[in-house]
């Protein structure tokens, strides 16, 4: 049997149904910004492998980091042991992150880092004598992962996890941030948030949100003033602020961390995706000394979390190399050029009747349609254009590697314009005309 036949028989892909014939394309190799399929076709990658491969694929610097570390040790448990890759990575993350984040807890995926951050907030409140503060407040349209507590702070109505509403903990949801990026935040934009805080603050451990960009919940870009106001309100009500920078961290919005747009520092910050440049799964939870010391002084005197593969040496080594590679590059100029290219290249979609909005920020370009895409029929159209773009819901979006050349970015944008222009609305879906 062929690779794809065996895949269809044995492999269950994310967000897919077995036996339904969803399009799957076999990849033979990847280099730079190109994926080479098993049938010989090459695709320009517009997804950066779900936003993490910021340096592209098969980068010699990152390859060498993995190979060097492999010669020393591939893995060792982190309970009672430590190693240089983890310690030096933690030091570097603290040095780069918003002021006050001084302690690093490693996890093995973005969702797990959100779980750890939420547990950290609850343990902190218990340790300071506030055992009733166990819930979380979050804006609607957010997304924080697929594990149980992470699902509980994803949008319960429009998000991907409606099926689990009766299972996940019940959190407090407020209106999504209304002012768009670059606009001021007015008093009425905070009304829902302030009302919920007045009513529920005694039962809340923290506010959790994605700073500036609500990612998989809708690719919405919101005002930095709103984020600054949330920081002030958390202080007023004695709540921790958790910033989920898994998608936005390491330059995607034009700042190293999206919190920098508002000039604020959270109490807890989660990192993942681009942390290793897309090479290995690794995540980190950064917090303040106050949070760490309060938990450590409370009952049972330690933080109750410990993934088996946390601080994996291979992952930590390649993360260090990825961060150094990013900082040594003209990454801000590259992201700025990508934003300009996306704005120009996607602009023709704005005039299409089935397009609701086109928006760009940093290395993120979004075409929001009036209805969801029929993925099974639309995905192959992008492959036929020689690009890898995977829409979800109503969104056709681009988040390419930072190293993409202008001509390749132009081809990605042209493919979006070509495919989207050929869609029509039918039975509540955007389908090929």
Residues assigned a catalytic role? 15, 143, 244, 273
Q: Which residue matches tokens 């992150």?
A: 97
Query: Looking at the chain, how many residues does it have?
Result: 433
Structure tokens at 59: 């980068």
Asked if 400 contacts 333 with a C-beta cutoff of 8 angstroms, the reply is: no
Q: What angle do CA 218, 164, 234 make, to 5 degrees?
A: 60
Helix (H, G, I), strand (E, B) or coil at 11: coil
Hey, what's the torsion of the CAs at 176, 248, 114, 291, to 10 degrees?
-100
Structure tokens at 91: 């030091």
Strand pairing partners for 172?
A: 137
Helix (H, G, I), strand (E, B) or coil at 269: strand
Nearest Cα to Cα of residue 401 among 393, 409, 391: 409
Structure tokens at 306: 């410990």
Longest dimension (CA), the chain: 64
Cα distances (Å, whole numbers) of residue 320 to 84, 271, 324, 403:
11, 14, 6, 18
Residue 391 DSSP one-character state:
-
β-strand 101-107 against 283-288: which pairing, if any? antiparallel
Three-class SS of 126-169: HHCCCCCCCEEEEECCCCCCCCHHHHHCCCCCCCCCHHHCCCCC
197/288 Cα distance (integer angstroms): 23
Q: Which residue matches tokens 């639309």?
A: 378
| Cα dihedral sign, 352-159-220-412 | negative
φ/ψ of residue 41, rounded to 5: -70, 150
Residues 6+ apart with CB under 8 A from 235: none
33/407 Cα distance (integer angstroms): 12
């Amino acid at each position: 049997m062929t690779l794809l036949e065996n895949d269809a028989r044995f492999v269950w892909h994310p967000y897919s149904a077995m036996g339904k014939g969803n399009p799957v394309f076999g990849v033979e190799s990847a280099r730079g910004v190109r994926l080479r399929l098993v049938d010989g076709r090459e695709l320009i990658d517009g997804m950066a492998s779900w936003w993490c491969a910021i340096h592209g694929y098969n980068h010699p610097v990152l390859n060498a980091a993995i190979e060097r570390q492999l010669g020393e040790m591939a893995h060792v448990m982190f309970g009672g042991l430590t190693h240089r890759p983890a310690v030096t990575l933690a030091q570097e993350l603290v040095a780069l992150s918003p002021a006050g984040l001084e302690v690093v807890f490693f996890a093995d995926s973005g969702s797990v880092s959100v779980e750890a951050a939420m547990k950290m907030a609850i343990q902190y409140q218990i340790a300071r004598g506030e055992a009733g503060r166990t819930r979380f407040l979050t804006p609607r349209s957010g997304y924080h992962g697929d594990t149980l507590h992470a699902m509980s702070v994803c949008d319960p109505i429009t998000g991907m996890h409606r099926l689990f509403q009766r299972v996940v903990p019940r959190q407090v949801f407020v209106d999504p941030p209304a002012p768009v990026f670059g606009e001021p935040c007015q008093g009425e934009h905070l009304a829902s948030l302030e009302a919920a805080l007045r009513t529920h603050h005694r039962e809340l451990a923290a506010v959790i949100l994605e700073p500036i960009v609500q990612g998989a919940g809708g690719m919405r870009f919101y005002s930095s003033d709103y984020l600054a106001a949330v920081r002030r309100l958390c202080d007023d009500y004695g709540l921790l602020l958790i910033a989920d920078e898994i998608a936005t961290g390491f330059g995607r919005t034009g700042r190293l961390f999206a919190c920098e747009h508002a000039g604020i520092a959270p109490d807890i910050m989660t990192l993942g995706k681009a942390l290793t440049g897309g090479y290995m799964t690794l995540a980190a939870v950064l917090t303040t000394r106050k949070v760490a010391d309060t938990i450590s002084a409370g009952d049972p005197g330690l933080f109750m979390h410990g993934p088996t593969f946390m601080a994996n040496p291979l992952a930590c080594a390649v993360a260090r190399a990825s961060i150094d590679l990013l900082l040594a590059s003209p990454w801000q100029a590259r992201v700025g050029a990508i934003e300009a290219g996306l704005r120009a290249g996607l602009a023709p979609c704005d005039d299409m009747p089935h397009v609701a909005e086109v928006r760009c920020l940093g290395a993120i370009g979004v075409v929001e349609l009036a209805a969801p895409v029929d993925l099974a029929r639309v995905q192959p159209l992008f492959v036929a254009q020689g690009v890898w773009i995977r829409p979800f819901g109503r969104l056709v979006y681009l988040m390419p590697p930072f190293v993409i050349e202008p001509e390749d970015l132009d081809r990605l944008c042209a493919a979006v314009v070509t495919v989207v222009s050929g869609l029509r609305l039918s039975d509540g879906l955007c389908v090929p005309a």
